Amino acid sequence: MERIAEPLDFAHARGFIHRDLKPDNIMIGAFGEVLVMDWGLAKVGVSNLGPGETESTAAVQPTQNSLRLTGQGSVLGTRGYMSPEQTRTDIEIDHRTDIFSLGAILTFMLTGSAPGELPTASDSVPRPLRAICEKAMAFEPNARYQSAREMTADITHYLNGEPVSAYPETLLERSGRVLNQHRTAVVLVAVYLLMRVLFILFARR
Amino acid sequence: MNKVLLGLLLGAILGAIDGMTALFTPEARAEITGIVIGSTIKGIIAGILIGVFARKVHSLALGIVFGLGIGLLLAFIVAQMQHGYYFQIMLPGGMVGLIVGYATQRYGRGPKLQQT
């Protein structure tokens, strides 16, 4: 996911919106590199480059024309991976439409099923991961992650056994996570204490 | 936390706990203060040595083995001085060393790299 997000973040910073992210458009190169393909539906928006940053390869100068180069007045994208606002022709979309698609891809990776059907509570997908998917695929763009980097940071937090921003955990869940994260240390201390108790019991005999 | 400091603190705490369990042995109760102090000092020495080792060698397995070795060695010296109780002293001592060895490698922070 992180390696999908990297080129996407790069593109977003330069004002490009992919608009058709889906598993079919993610490819693994010969050296294991992740390639985000098919920028045919990409839209050029507003570059988010900082004041000190420059773009040497393809200077993005968004104009009224370039903003409307693709898809004006028509619905473009792939059902299931397309954000709600992308299905409408009357609102301007931004990079957060790609965040929705990333959430759909993550859902696909986790469940193996078509997006649009998030796993239910009984499914094997851990709740924090489900929350990440739900946040990325929120109906309102403002409720989603605001960048691909932010989303992958949450996934990395989950993989490292840390709390994720999308999922406020209960005290019990937090304790379970911390215990799981420090399993070996907990086992060692427990064995030590057990040994101590056994020594005391034997000493009393 | 710095690996040496972590080793020192853990060694001191586990050493003190180790010593205090002598309270449950009636014949050792009279000398409890000396036992606790001695055990804490033993823990501190083990902790510092294990912490210094963890700073030099970045290997969880070697850290655990070294911790176990130091714990057993110091406990053996104490048992020699007590003329007995080898099992009761060396097993917990080795265990404390093992825990400190694991913790310093896993949770201790190494020295900061200097920028050149």
- Across residues A172-192, what is the average pLDDT? 88
pLDDT at A120 over 70: no
> Widest CA span of chain B, in angstroms?
60
Q: Which of B14, B24, B98 sits opposite A200 (nearest CB)?
A: B24
Confidence band, pLDDT 50/70/90 cuts, at residue A62: very low
Contact B92 A195 (CB under 8 A): yes
Confidence band, pLDDT 50/70/90 cuts, at residue A45: low
Chain B residues touching A198 at Cβ < 8 A:
none
Is A20 noted as a catalytic residue in this protein?
yes
Instruction: Say how far apart CA A95 and CA A114 lie, in whole Å.
Output: 22
Token representation of residue A27: 């490819």
Query: Count of CB contacts below 8 A, A vs B?
Result: 34
> DSSP assignment, residue B29?
G
Instruction: Say how far apart CA A183 and CA A63 lie, in whole Å.
Output: 56
Test the B interface: residue of A187, A194, A199 with most B CBs within 10 Å:
A199
Which residue from A minimizes the CA distance to B98?
A: A188
Collect all residues with Cβ–Cβ distance below 8 Å to A37 and sequence separation of at least 6. A25, A26, A27
Instruction: Say how far apart CA A3 and CA A109 lie, in whole Å.
Output: 14
Test the B interface: residue of A188, A198, A200 with most B CBs within 10 Å:
A188
Asked if A44 and A67 count as a contact pair (C-beta separation under 8 A), the reply is yes
> DSSP assignment, residue B30?
G
Report the mean per-residue pLDDT for chain A. Answer: 76
- Closest Cα of chain A to B24: distance in Å? 6
pLDDT at A205 over 90: no
CB count within 10 Å of CB A87 equals 12
Asked if B12 and B44 count as a contact pair (C-beta separation under 8 A), the reply is yes
Chain A residues touching B20 at Cβ < 8 A:
none
Confidence band, pLDDT 50/70/90 cuts, at residue A204: low
Report the percent of chain B where pLDDT is more than 90: 39
Angle, CA of A114, A118 and A122, to the nearest 5°:
120
3-state SS, chain A, equals CHHHHHHHHHHHHCCEECCCCCHHHEEECCCCCEEECCHHHCEECCCCCCCCCCCCCCCCCCCHHHHCCCCCCCCCCCCCCCCHHHHCCCCCCCCHHHHHHHHHHHHHHHHCCCCCCCCCCCCCCCHHHHHHHHHHCCCCHHHCCCCHHHHHHHHHHHHCCCCCCCCCCCHHHHHHHHHHHCHHHHHHHHHHHHHHHHHHHHHHC
pLDDT at A152 over 60: yes
Chain A residues touching B24 at Cβ < 8 A:
199-200, 203-204
How do residues B30-81 score in pLDDT, each as one tens digit? 888 888 898 899 899 999 999 999 999 889 999 999 999 999 999 899 888 8
User: From chain B, which residues contact A within 8 Å (Cβ)?
Assistant: 14, 17, 21, 24-25, 88, 91-92, 95-96, 98-99, 102-103, 106-107
- Across residues A53-81, what is the average pLDDT? 48
Chain A residues touching B99 at Cβ < 8 A:
185, 188-189, 192
What's the pLDDT at B99?
92
How do residues A122-138 score in pLDDT, each as one tens digit? 467 888 888 998 898 88
Confidence band, pLDDT 50/70/90 cuts, at residue B1: confident
Confidence band, pLDDT 50/70/90 cuts, at residue B21: confident
How do residues A102-118 score in pLDDT, each as one tens digit? 888 888 888 877 666 55
CB count within 10 Å of CB B15 equals 27
Q: Beta partners for A34?
A: A28
> DSSP assignment, residue B48?
H
Q: Which residue has the tokens 């709600």?
A: A84
CA distances from A168 to A121, A149, A173, A174 (A): 16, 20, 10, 9
User: From chain A, which residues contact B within 8 Å (Cβ)?
Assistant: 184-185, 188-189, 191-192, 195-196, 199-200, 203-204
Query: Mean pLDDT lowest for which of A28-37, A47-56, B3-12, B66-75?
Result: A47-56
What's the pLDDT at B116?
53
